[in-house]
């Protein structure tokens, strides 16, 4: 599969499978495009599925800098231009959802026909004077410190909350959990930490109003990583005409735990005819 140069000395790994309507997938932190295996196995039979490894993750190059949302949005634009994609369904999970919002705000919707936000880490997470309901800064500071001290141990603990695993509830087999752990540990330590800074500090509230394509928001109500009330409701209120589907009691990692339902919802939204607005 091609490596597409998006900036000097920065090449992104891109998978391009299937034919038909182009669907571009943006993965979450701190995974890679491989997280979408359970979607591509089905959707790839009907659509052209393009999966991008974010810089610093998966099989893409690992530059020292460029992990802010503006640069990441420019990377997406470079890939869409290189593949000459139009009418794209843009699907972003977690941090990938935030990237998708910044992409539309920064580059517009000329190449995009619809947007899907899956457990998106937006529009704002960090507590601030004008956002008192946000997450306290020490929470993110601790994530960074634990990453510096023992990234593998942090990932193991983080993954349990990610998938809603408890003593009484084990939605993933130990082997599948090991696989996700291995995907995460392929990431650059520098990108790993810098992306925590990016998704924790970014304020995308103004970006929401710039979304001008049909938008589907899907979020788990039991999400411990990106809290439902803090994000899903705010995005639904801020994006005109958006649709919100709530997966009751689902964790952040619902792309696996709820994958049959997610695939049905994605397929229905992709195929749905959208009325043309005549001005």
Asked whether residue 276 is domain-assigned, the answer is no
Asked whether residue 278 is domain-assigned, the answer is no
Asked whether residue 279 is domain-assigned, the answer is no
Q: Which domain holds residue 28?
A: 3-271
Residue 112 and residue 99: Cα distance in Å, rounded? 14
Q: What are 41's two structure tokens? A: 């196995």
For residue 275, what pLDDT is reported?
56
For residue 276, what pLDDT is reported?
45
Q: How far is CA 156 from CA 9, 45, 57, 139, 150, in A?
A: 32, 33, 18, 17, 10
Asked whether residue 117 is domain-assigned, the answer is yes
For residue 278, what pLDDT is reported?
33
Asked whether residue 33 is domain-assigned, the answer is yes
For position 240, which CATH number holds? 3.40.50.1820
Per-residue pLDDT of the chain (279 residues; tens, 9 = 90+): 589 999 999 999 999 999 999 999 999 999 999 999 999 999 999 999 999 999 999 999 999 999 999 999 999 999 999 999 999 999 999 999 999 999 999 999 999 999 999 999 999 999 999 999 999 999 999 999 999 999 999 999 999 999 988 766 778 898 999 999 999 999 999 999 999 999 999 999 999 999 999 999 999 999 999 999 999 999 999 999 999 999 999 999 999 999 999 999 999 999 997 654 433
State how many domains the chain has: 1
Q: What is the residue whose two structure tokens read 């990377």?
A: 75
Q: How far is CA 7 from CA 32, 65, 74, 81, in A?
A: 20, 11, 9, 13
Q: Which residues are catalytic?
A: 94, 223, 252
Could you list the beta-strand ranges (E) of 31-169. 48-52, 88-93, 112-118
For residue 165, what pLDDT is reported?
85
SS3 percent helix, strand, coil of the chain, rounded to 5, is 45, 20, 40
For residue 274, what pLDDT is reported?
63
């Amino acid at each position: 599969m091609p490596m597409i140069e998006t900036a000097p000395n920065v090449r992104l790994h891109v998978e391009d499978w299937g034919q038909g309507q182009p669907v571009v997938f943006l993965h979450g932190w701190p995974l890679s495009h491989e997280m979408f295996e359970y979607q591509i196995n089905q959707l790839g039979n009907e659509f052209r599925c393009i999966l991008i490894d974010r810089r610093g993750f998966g099989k893409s190059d690992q530059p020292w800098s460029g992990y802010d949302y503006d640069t990441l949005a420019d990377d997406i634009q470079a890939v869409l231009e290189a593949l000459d994609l139009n009418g794209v369904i843009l699907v972003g999970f977690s941090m990938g959802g935030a990237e998708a919002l910044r992409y539309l705000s920064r580059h517009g919707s000329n190449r995009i026909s619809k947007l899907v936000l899956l457990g998106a880490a937006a529009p704002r997470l960090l507590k601030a004077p004008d956002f008192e309901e946000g997450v306290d800064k020490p929470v993110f500071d601790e994530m960074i410190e634990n990453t510096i001290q023992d990234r593998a141990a942090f990932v193991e603990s983080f993954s349990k909350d990610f998938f809603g695993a408890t003593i009484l509830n084990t939605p993933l087999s130990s082997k599948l959990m090991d696989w996700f752990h291995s995907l995460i540990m392929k990431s650059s330590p520098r990108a790993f930490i810098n992306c925590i800074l990016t998704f924790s500090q970014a304020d995308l509230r103004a970006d929401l109003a710039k979304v001008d394509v049909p938008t589907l928001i899907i979020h788990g109500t039991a999400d411990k990583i990106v809290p439902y009330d803090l994000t899903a409701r705010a995005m639904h209120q801020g994006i005109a005409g958006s649709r919100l589907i709530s997966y009751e009691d689902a964790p952040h990692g619902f792309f696996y735990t709820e994958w049959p339902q997610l695939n049905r919802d994605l397929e229905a939204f992709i195929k749905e005819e959208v009325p043309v607005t005549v001005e």
